Amino acid sequence: MATVNTWYGAISSQLFERLQQIRLVVCDVDGVFSDGCIYLGNDGEELKAFHTRDGFGVKALLNAGIDVAVITGRESRIVQDRMQALGVKHIYQGQADKEACFEQLVAQLGLTYDHVASIGDDVPDLAMLTRSAVSVCVNDGHPYVQQQADYITSARGGYGAVRELSDLILTAQGQLQLQGGISL
Q: d(Cα 60, Cα 125) in Å, to the nearest integer?
A: 24
Q: d(Cα 90, Cα 9) in Å, to the nearest integer?
A: 31
The predicted model gives 127-137 an average pLDDT of: 97
In a domain, 166, yes or no: yes
Detail the DSSP E strand segments found in the chain: 3-6, 9-12, 24-27, 39-40, 46-47, 67-71, 90-92, 116-120, 134-137, 151-152
In a domain, 86, yes or no: yes
Reported as a single tens digit per residue, the pLDDT across 34-73 is 999 988 889 988 889 999 999 999 999 999 999 999 999 9
pLDDT value at position 97?
93
Residue 161's closest CA among 11, 22, 69, 30? Answer: 30
Reported as a single tens digit per residue, the pLDDT across 137-165 is 999 999 999 999 999 999 999 999 999 99
pLDDT value at position 46?
86
pLDDT value at position 38?
87
pLDDT value at position 183?
40
Domain ranges, residue 64: 23-172
In a domain, 151, yes or no: yes
In a domain, 14, yes or no: no
In the predicted structure, residue 103 carries a pLDDT above the cut 90: yes
CATH of the domain at 83: 3.40.50.1000
Q: Say how many domains are in the chain.
A: 1
